[in-house]
Structure 1
Amino acid sequence: MEKTPGLSTDVTSPLAAIVLAGGASRRMGRDKATLPYAGLDGEITMVEHIVATLKTRCSPVFVIAAPGQALPQLDAEILRDEVRGVGPLLATARGLHAAAAAGLDLAFVCAVDMPYLSVELIDDLVGPALRLHAEVVLPWDGRDHYLAGVYRTSLAARADELVAAGERSMRALIGTTDTQRVVMPEQRSLTNVNTPADLF
């Protein structure tokens, strides 16, 4: 798997978004999706903020939630896992199926706890996906960011097979794909919020 510098692309390239919002959030001690976030127009929830950011670049946006998880009204399609605590791979597969059914070849997959996510970061990843026909493009800043990457929606069936075999982690899927890494410096856009203090 080659580390590849970022490549520009046409910002109008069709792209779905999949937000994984149903995690247990043990380190935070509460649901991250409904964590209060100080937006430009007042306090909103983290999931509302993430969806609003993604809507400026991606369509459609799918939010994968846990069974019974309370969410605010969102400008996105909410899909629910059938059971809790089964890891991100199953949720990603569900989102990839939905994005493929909507006619999209590519989807940006991210966690709900990325309040500083930028459209520029997303487009830095779409370029290699289009130019190199990679199945997955991940940011790499000394580690892989599995939940901040561009994925081919055709990977949905492969993810299903891995889940059926007992796999739960994104690493299992990445190990079966043509994955390109875009080398980036450590940056705020890739920050995952694990405590309320991380928001300041």
Structure 2
Amino acid sequence: MSSPLAGVVLAGGASRRMGRDKATMVFPASGTKTMVESVVEALSARCAPVLVIAAPGQRLPELDATVLRDEVLGVGPLLATGRGLRAAAEAGCERAFVCAVDMPFMSPDLIDELASHVGPDVVLPWDGRDHYLAGVYRTDLAARVDDLVARGERSMRSLVDSVNTQRIVLPETAALTNVNTAADLV
């Protein structure tokens, strides 16, 4: 039997495009839930534990997840991903679904589809482009992330391009929608 799949939500901080913290913005389609609550709920349906990587001092609503704090603000998703993968490994998980907080339509079905592919280091959805922050990653990649960050890398592409990555071709789906502007919220 394989180990459980952890969920890692990268909550980040303020968005340059939106001028405020995306994680705590209410996502109208969910009623009164914030984007972080919506994403944690979707991951909780398939992942245990669910870990939220937050910026230093970032305020979040009460979540049914473990909140871990980035030690440095503004260094991009690679460092936060490494922290989440390390925590997932410490919790006994061999793989983790890593997701950005700005994907409030995330669905358990997408997680199931990607998690069903067990051989590669990374499994990413592809719908004409890579979705680095909606994929399944082996938790032992945390050491690789440390090496990349020590060399000055900050992008997820640097990790994905350096390991065995499988891209799963999918039709366009709402689950992969990133909310990057206030207009995307409606």
TM-score (norm 1): 0.89
Displacement of 1:187 in angstroms is 1.5
Alignment pair present for 1:142 and 2:103: no
User: Structure 1 vs Structure 2: percent identity of aligned residues?
Assistant: 68
**Where does residue 67 of structure 2 map in the other structure?**
78
Task: Find the aligned partners of 2:28 and 2:129 in 1 and give their Cα distance.
Answer: 29
Q: 1:29 aligns with which of 19, 22, 43?
A: 19
1:5 paired residue number = none
Which SS does the other structure have where 2:114 is aligned?
helix
Q: C-alpha separation between the residues in 2 aligned to 1:24 and 1:103? A: 31
Aligned-CA RMSD value: 1.6
Query: Which residue number in structure 2 is paired with residue 58 of structure 1?
Result: 47
TM-score by length of structure 2 reads 0.95
Deviation of 1:13 (Å): 6.6
Counterpart residue type for residue 166 of structure 2 = Q
Alignment of 1:41-56 (within 5 A): 42-56=31-45
What count of residue pairs does the alignment treat as equivalent? Answer: 186
Is contact 2:28–2:185 with CA below 8 Å preserved after alignment?
no
Letter in structure 1 aligned against 2:108 = V
Aligned counterparts, 1:148-163, within 5 A:
148-163=134-149
Q: Which residue does the alignment assign to 2:91?
A: 102
TM-fit CA distance, 1:24: 3.5
Instruction: Determine helix, strand or coil for the equivalent of 1:103.
Output: coil
Give, in whole Å, the separation in 1 of the partners of 2:3 and 2:54: 27
Partners of 1:83 and 1:52 lie apart in 2 by 27
Q: Which range moved further: 82-91 or 30-39?
A: 30-39
Q: CA deviation at 1:39?
A: 6.0
Structure 1, gaps ≥5 residues long: 1-9
In structure 1, what is the equivalent of residue 178 of structure 2? 192
Instruction: Structure 2 unaligned segments of length 5 or more: list them.
Output: none
Q: Please point out which of 107, 110, 114 is paired with 2:103.
A: 114
CA–CA separation in structure 2 for the residues paired with 1:39 and 1:104:
32
Specify which structure has the bigger relative contact order, considering alpha-carbon pairs within 8 angstroms and separated by 6 or more residues.
Answer: 1
Contact 1:137 1:180 in 2 (8 A): yes
The secondary structure found in structure 2 opposite 1:150 is strand
Q: How many angstroms apart in 1 are the aligned matches of 2:24 and 2:180?
A: 13
Tell me, what secondary structure is at the counterpart of 2:159?
A: helix
Are residues 1:167 and 2:153 paired?
Answer: yes
Aligned residue in 1 for 2:8: 18
